[in-house]
Structure 1
Amino acid sequence: MKFFPHLLAFLLLAMVGCNSDDADPDQAMYFPPLTGSEWETSSVSSLSWNESQVPALIDFLEEKNTKAFLILVKGEIVMEEYFGGHKATDTWQWNSAGKTLVAATTGIAQQEGLLDINTQVSRYFGTGWTNMPIEKENLITSKHLLSMTSGINDENQFVIRPNLTYLADAGTRWSYHNVFQRLMDVISAASGRKFDTYFDSKLRDKIGMDGTWNFGLVFNIYHSTARSMARFGLLALNEGKWVDAQIVSEEFFKESIRSSQDLNPAYGYFWWLNGKSKFMLPGSQTVFPGSLIPNAPADMYAAMGAEDQRIYVVPSKKLVIIRMGRASDPSNPSFAYSGFDQELWQKINAVID
């Protein structure tokens, strides 16, 4: 049997290449350029999804007041739909889904040595930032703000000092509260820069997002295009990494998508976590058994905002799904969680399974 050295070398290289791809499947992940509108696409048919179910998904989205909807697989756009005159260049509010931007920025500030989430908040801008007894205020760390366990009374969501009264010791009560916004003040004090300036340079511009913060007395809300929301979702899918740059430390990001406390295991650092044994919801102390969204993948984590602003991230399927729009149910616009998620995932599953 005669061997040809150049053919043998080619076969060996091919084998090495195959083994390398198998060992590092993330090599196939796509990241769009930082500037311009270029973004690689894939198709429903190329993924062997059920094309016949796509019209039903689109009809549902339109019926439920959606403005923008995207599905990414390994970073490539598979579906991109806009409704009601909304365009790809139009911006929309993230509402509480934008809390995850604050969590990521906190992680960046910590990895730069500017702050430590386990340090009491008052160390960064002085005591008396609440209307609590000083010994109770001093129990509150940035981690308590990240995990919604500050113990501050949640009866009034206006984040002004007279409203920040004592209800429980920090770490002993989970309660969804706008006081998380003081974390933005921690970052500003620690960095010596306005929060949005620091955010823009350390996160937004690093991954090619557009968008701006709208600061108010009650809410600090981010506005951007749907594609920018998808860029952040892609960063989250890759655990804080963009191409070869680790924007948010992997250690901090993984910590963000783990249960941040035992009271509500379905909550990380502003990320909602699926597949846990129980969960709590904003505005309630009721503990519900089972998974947050039972028909969504168990490993999914999500940024969830009022009026059903959503970033769903599913590592096992390399999926990022974006939904922007008005409330699916106008009579129930304010909660970060709604029955809409169950209905939407029923439609999504019909397409992707």
Structure 2
Amino acid sequence: MVRGLLCVALLSVTVTAHAETWPDKEWAKAPPLSGPAVDALNAYAFPARDDTHRQGIRTDALLVIRDGAVVYERYAEPTTASTPHLTWSVSKSLMATVLGVAYGEKRFKLTDPVARFYPPMKQHPTVSMADLLHWASGLDWQEDYEFAPLKSSVVAMLYTRGRADMAEFTAGMDAASAPGRVFRYSSGDSNLLSAALKGMLGHKAYMSYPWDALFKPLGIHNATWETDADETFVASSYAYLTARDLARVGLLMARDGRWGDQQQLLPEDWVAFNRKPFDPYKAGQDEAVPGGHWWLNREVQGAARPWPDAPADTFAALGHWGQALYVMPDEHLVIVRYGDDRDGSYRHNELLKRVLAAVQP
């Protein structure tokens, strides 16, 4: 009998330690982190800036949510808690999350050809929605930025030949391989997903859909998502959210698509698809392992995890110049990091290692 009472007491302590707190209008706040490990985190994330030469790590915002409550939050001017920050390619994972709502509404299947929803893709009739979500359309795409602008498909899409209609520009690419066979990171694939969503919904419903389907249910009221001239959301690059609002998306994903006590906003099988490695991916092709438009900290082909000091279940939305939304379900952690790192010195693993050290009791 004593042993039974002890087990019940221990269970009660465990449940209390990881009670599901949900943000209302504001996030709940836990006692802030302190101690040498927090000092070490601050030293890495917020070193003295050199804005003249744009060298070194420049963190604009760092937010840590544990068990649904804020345990660490710091900003560097001009960014504040109310500043919607450019997320760059974190936008890709946001579009995947919006599509998850549409998937739950049975508007499409992963096996559907993209051309069903976006007619310009009829010249690539076997490319499926899953292929785009895996960055495996097979289109001949060059995702190069500052160092190869003349050869860069993404620079041409965002700033020159393709900027008026980014999906149409991408659909006009030649095929380099069969769909679904090769991982080839492509901002164009992400913008084709955005155009496919517009085809599913119709223009009028599409223009408010990210807000109606995702942002408003999560309590996000200050998001901006730019469109191209064809009024297609630039899913590759141009969503703006505050750190606190982006963390809401992370909490949704950490809890397998549930929001609040009863609402299953994303189907569980959609979240499982997002978090499943793309099988044809070859180790070392990118800074993390691709899933369904999210990035995974998984071992593939015998290679070590990309972020060895973080748990294997860690997954993330990642963007240019150091934007990141990290989710650690088993650790009950959601981390948002915004930055402006121009020299490539920022390391995901180093930040995650220091955050994990700082949150240890």
Q: Give the TM-score, by structure 2 length.
A: 0.79
CA, structure 1 residues 245+16, in 2 after alignment: closer, same or farther (shift >3 Å)? Answer: farther
How far did residue 18 of structure 1 move? 5.2
Q: Which residue of 1 aligns with 2:224?
A: 212
Asked if the contact 1:69/1:81 (under 8 Å) is kept, the reply is yes
Q: Which residue of 1 aligns with 2:141?
A: 154
CA, structure 1 residues 291+229, in 2 after alignment: closer, same or farther (shift >3 Å)? Answer: same
CA, structure 1 residues 311+111, in 2 after alignment: closer, same or farther (shift >3 Å)? Answer: same
Q: Which residue of 2 aligns with 1:269?
A: 292
How far did residue 195 of structure 1 move? 3.6
CA, structure 1 residues 17+27, in 2 after alignment: closer, same or farther (shift >3 Å)? Answer: farther
Gaps of 5+ in 1: 1-10, 46-50, 279-287, 333-337
- Is the counterpart of residue 348 in structure 1 residue 355 in structure 2? yes
How far did residue 20 of structure 1 move? 7.2
Q: Which residue of 2 aligns with 1:42?
A: 31
Query: SS where residue 186 of structure 1 aligns?
Result: helix
How far did residue 148 of structure 1 move? 0.6
Q: Please give the alpha-carbon distance, in whole angstroms, between the structure 2 residues aligned to 1:264 and 1:76.
A: 37
- Is the counterpart of residue 255 in structure 1 residue 264 in structure 2? no
Gaps of 5+ in 2: 48-56, 143-152, 158-165, 284-288
Aligned partner of 1:102: which letter?
A: M
How far did residue 339 of structure 1 move? 5.2
How far did residue 252 of structure 1 move? 0.9
Q: Which residue of 2 aligns with 1:81?
A: 74
Asked if the contact 2:18/2:67 (under 8 Å) is kept, the reply is no
Asked if the contact 1:181/1:220 (under 8 Å) is kept, the reply is no
- Is the counterpart of residue 191 in structure 1 residue 201 in structure 2? yes
How far did residue 251 of structure 1 move? 1.4
How far did residue 162 of structure 1 move? 7.2
Q: Give the TM-score, by structure 1 length.
A: 0.81
CA, structure 1 residues 341+123, in 2 after alignment: closer, same or farther (shift >3 Å)? Answer: same
Q: Which residue of 2 aligns with 1:120?
A: 113
CA, structure 1 residues 150+26, in 2 after alignment: closer, same or farther (shift >3 Å)? Answer: farther
| 1:110-142 deviation per Cα after TM superposition (whole angstroms, max 9, x unaligned) | 21121112110111122x337xxx3xx111011
How far did residue 15 of structure 1 move? 8.5
Q: Which residue of 2 aligns with 1:221?
A: 238
Asked if the contact 1:275/1:297 (under 8 Å) is kept, the reply is no
One of 15, 23, 26 as aligned partner of 1:32: 23
Asked if the contact 1:185/1:195 (under 8 Å) is kept, the reply is no
Aligned partner of 1:202: which letter?
A: A
- Is the counterpart of residue 176 in structure 1 residue 180 in structure 2? no
Q: Please give the alpha-carbon distance, in whole angstroms, between the structure 1 residues aligned to 2:318 and 2:338.
A: 10
How far did residue 297 of structure 1 move? 1.6
Asked if the contact 2:250/2:334 (under 8 Å) is kept, the reply is yes
Q: Please give the alpha-carbon distance, in whole angstroms, between the structure 1 residues aligned to 2:213 and 2:11.
A: 32
| 1:210-253 deviation per Cα after TM superposition (whole angstroms, max 9, x unaligned) | 31101248754110111001111111111111112111111111
Q: Please give the alpha-carbon distance, in whole angstroms, between the structure 2 residues aligned to 1:144 and 1:240.
A: 22
CA, structure 1 residues 117+24, in 2 after alignment: closer, same or farther (shift >3 Å)? Answer: farther
Asked if the contact 1:21/1:27 (under 8 Å) is kept, the reply is no
Q: Please give the alpha-carbon distance, in whole angstroms, between the structure 1 residues aligned to 2:353 and 2:137.
A: 36
Q: CA RMSD in A?
A: 2.8
Q: Please give the alpha-carbon distance, in whole angstroms, between the structure 1 residues aligned to 2:263 and 2:70.
A: 22
Q: Please give the alpha-carbon distance, in whole angstroms, between the structure 2 residues aligned to 1:344 and 1:38.
A: 23
Percent of matched pairs sharing the same residue: 24
Q: Which residue of 2 aligns with 1:48?
A: none
- Is the counterpart of residue 305 in structure 1 residue 319 in structure 2? yes
Query: SS where residue 100 of structure 1 aligns?
Result: helix
Asked if the contact 1:42/1:78 (under 8 Å) is kept, the reply is yes
How far did residue 264 of structure 1 move? 4.5
Asked if the contact 2:141/2:184 (under 8 Å) is kept, the reply is yes
| 1:10-40 deviation per Cα after TM superposition (whole angstroms, max 9, x unaligned) | x9xx98975875896797111111x3x3533
One of 242, 259, 264 as aligned partner of 1:246: 264
CA, structure 1 residues 22+213, in 2 after alignment: closer, same or farther (shift >3 Å)? Answer: same
How far did residue 78 of structure 1 move? 0.4
Kindly indicate whether structure 1 or structure 2 has the higher relative contact order, using CA contacts under 8 Å at least 6 residues apart.
Answer: 2
One of 211, 219, 237 as aligned partner of 1:200: 211
Aligned partner of 2:40: which letter?
A: A
CA, structure 1 residues 352+16, in 2 after alignment: closer, same or farther (shift >3 Å)? Answer: closer
Q: Please give the alpha-carbon distance, in whole angstroms, between the structure 1 residues aligned to 2:280 and 2:212.
A: 34
Q: Which residue of 2 aligns with 1:234?
A: 251
CA, structure 1 residues 199+69, in 2 after alignment: closer, same or farther (shift >3 Å)? Answer: same
How far did residue 177 of structure 1 move? 0.4
Q: Please give the alpha-carbon distance, in whole angstroms, between the structure 2 residues aligned to 1:57 and 1:122.
A: 47
